[in-house]
Structure 1
Amino acid sequence: MSTLTPEMESLKARLKATWMAGDYGYFARYLEPGALAFLERLSIAPGTRLLDVGCGAGQIAIPAARAGVRVTGVDIALNSVEQARTRAQAEGLDVRFDEGDAEMLAFEDGAFDLVVSLIGAMFAPRPERVAAELVRVCRPAGRIVMANWTAEGFVGQMFKTIGKHVPPPPLMPSPLLWGNEATVRERLRDGVAQLQLSKRLYPFDYPFAPSEVVEFYRTYYGPTNRAFATLDAAGQTALRSDLEHLWAQNNRATDGTTRYDAEYLEVVAIRATAD
């Protein structure tokens, strides 16, 4: 395993702090319908060994465990891991949640039947390592499934809007490249026998107006929270204005609430079997 450069070590520390900011467990409550729809399409049989990479507060790990799946979840944000553990313990579920890095998964080769990342591993700074690790810990003929925001979709546009005010780190390729079909085919070229890519829509439904949604993200969603924190008062006002405009422009609700669908790329790969 190669040693991290000081620059990469610093970047990874900043990314960890970003995802520990806010309160992802609370933020993710509004993401549960889309997470459950994603999970349902996986049709996971009871007893399957599942690794959830970037598990957050257990949005898919916990319902999968309820259905008898043998679940392990990892995330770089320790506070999210602790929230997931608390939820699992409250329900009496046997789920393992660990602090972990998608680029350096602490599991043996072929340890899992199914490796999943719902809007998680796409944010790691070294995508080639992520791809290799997802494949490595999946057993031969097992599945690797990802959901990744596209650059063209609403969340992609939100990140671009934030990036105009707070430039992304130069060492890190855009996470939205994980939503590009050609890029994914290149990254998952080795060790994969089959690859299926599908564009899907993730539902977002908030019982409050777009201006309140922006404040909700600023308070609870780590990347937005940290972006605002780096700006002075004028910068925060400008960012808030641009985000409110984006949300209002894309809002499909007409009753004072906020509703939209965000495009993502669903990636389903089958690990190649040994020769």
Structure 2
Amino acid sequence: MTDLKSSSTTSSTDEADRALKSKHRAMWASGDYPALAHDLIWSLGPRLVEAVDIRPGERVLDIAAGTGNAAIPAALRGASVVATDLTPELFDAGRRHAREAGAELEWREADAEALPFSDGEFDVAISSIGIMFAPHHERSSAELLRVTRSGGRIGLLSWTPSGLVGQMFAAMKPFNAPPPPGAQPAPLWGDEQHVRGLLGDAVTDVHAVRDTVRVDRFASGVEFRQHFASHYGPVIAVYNRNADDPEKLAALDAALDAVGDAVLEDDGGMRWEYLLLTATVR
């Protein structure tokens, strides 16, 4: 006998998950993330590719690849690369960057929590500040492990909770909607113990290091906030949510200005902290 209550609950959960993913896709398609990624953090992709030691002929999956800051340098090493993302609107910029670099790779729309690939299909799976934004960490980490062959390698580069981007998300939390049930904060992927817990006994040879990327674009917290409010989907979404409340908008401005000012160094630069973790799948 079919359990009608269970079936109804599952259907409702699936519908809510589809709505959440649709919202995420629209959020990342808003603003101009391709420009922000290229101008500020493009160097993180080659850093990840070097750390995971991608080699010619390897089959590589880049999860939540965005515009390809890791996928493109992986392809330039001679790997066969599939770049995936929930937001295919980002692929136009990625394809342009690939052409300019002389790289050939495949671009494919895919959800990090339900990857359309076979078990063990890839020699290497990577993600540069991408998989961290999938809302259900257990699902996306399970998929990351599932599609990587035994003896294959994974490489993850994620913003830390204590770094600038983690602080920015913490500052926006009072102005944001409550997270859906089961969703976890993205910067937790920058917490080594959290990631080790997600990967568990499925990996060995885990190596994790905290490092920073230097950003010289902003002379003040105000400039930092203005740029993110016009380019970065998660920040744009928070401003849209509070658009009808001038007092909240002013408080949000002040909170983000303070985050930027707090990491501004004497010479005018900023250092944004990230966690780089590599491991071998058992």
Q: TM-score, normalised by structure 1?
A: 0.90
Query: Which amino acid in structure 1 is aligned with residue 23 of structure 2?
Result: R
Q: 2:248 aligns with which of 232, 235, 255?
A: 235
Query: Which amino acid in structure 1 is aligned with residue 176 of structure 2?
Result: V
Partner Cα distance (1:36, 1:93) in 2 = 14
- Say if 2:42 is the partner of 1:26: no
- Say if 2:188 is the partner of 1:177: yes
In structure 2, what is the equivalent of residue 197 of structure 1?
208
In structure 1, what is the equivalent of residue 229 of structure 2?
218
- 8 Å CA contact 1:150–1:180 kept in 2: the answer is yes
- 8 Å CA contact 2:152–2:280 kept in 1: the answer is yes
In structure 2, what is the equivalent of residue 100 of structure 1?
110
In structure 2, what is the equivalent of residue 244 of structure 1?
257
Q: 2:165 aligns with which of 152, 155, 158?
A: 155
Q: How does 1:114-193 map to 2 (within 5 A)?
A: 114-171=124-181, 172-193=183-204
Residue 122 of structure 1: how far off its partner (Å)? 1.1
- 8 Å CA contact 1:23–1:221 kept in 2: the answer is yes
Q: 1:63 to 1:182 in 2, by over 3 A?
A: closer
Partner Cα distance (2:87, 2:207) in 1 = 30
Structure 2, unaligned stretches of length 5 or more? 1-9
Structure 1, unaligned stretches of length 5 or more? none
Deviations 1:220-274 (A, max 9, x none): 11111111111133322221121112211210143xx5x22222222212111xx
Partner Cα distance (2:24, 2:90) in 1 = 14
Counterpart of 1:146 in 2: which secondary structure? strand
- 8 Å CA contact 2:31–2:233 kept in 1: the answer is yes
Query: Which amino acid in structure 2 is aligned with residue 270 of structure 1?
Result: T
Query: Which amino acid in structure 1 is aligned with residue 146 of structure 2?
Result: R
Partner Cα distance (2:145, 2:22) in 1 = 25
Partner Cα distance (1:260, 1:80) in 2 = 26
Deviations 1:85-143 (A, max 9, x none): 23324555321011111111111111111100111111111111111111111111010
Residue 207 of structure 1: how far off its partner (Å)? 5.1
Partner Cα distance (1:51, 1:67) in 2 = 14
Q: Which moved more, 1:190-199 or 1:58-67?
A: 190-199
Residue 213 of structure 1: how far off its partner (Å)? 1.9
Q: Which runs of 4+ in 1 moved over 4 A?
A: none
Query: Which amino acid in structure 2 is aligned with residue 235 of structure 1?
Result: K
Partner Cα distance (1:105, 1:202) in 2 = 29
- 8 Å CA contact 2:43–2:69 kept in 1: the answer is no
Query: Which amino acid in structure 2 is aligned with residue 19 of structure 1?
Result: W
Q: State, as a whole percentage, how many aligned pairs show the same letter.
A: 33
Partner Cα distance (1:93, 1:185) in 2 = 33
Q: How does 1:63-82 map to 2 (within 5 A)?
A: 63-82=73-92
Query: Which amino acid in structure 2 is aligned with residue 118 of structure 1?
Result: S
Q: Which moved more, 1:220-229 or 1:188-197?
A: 188-197
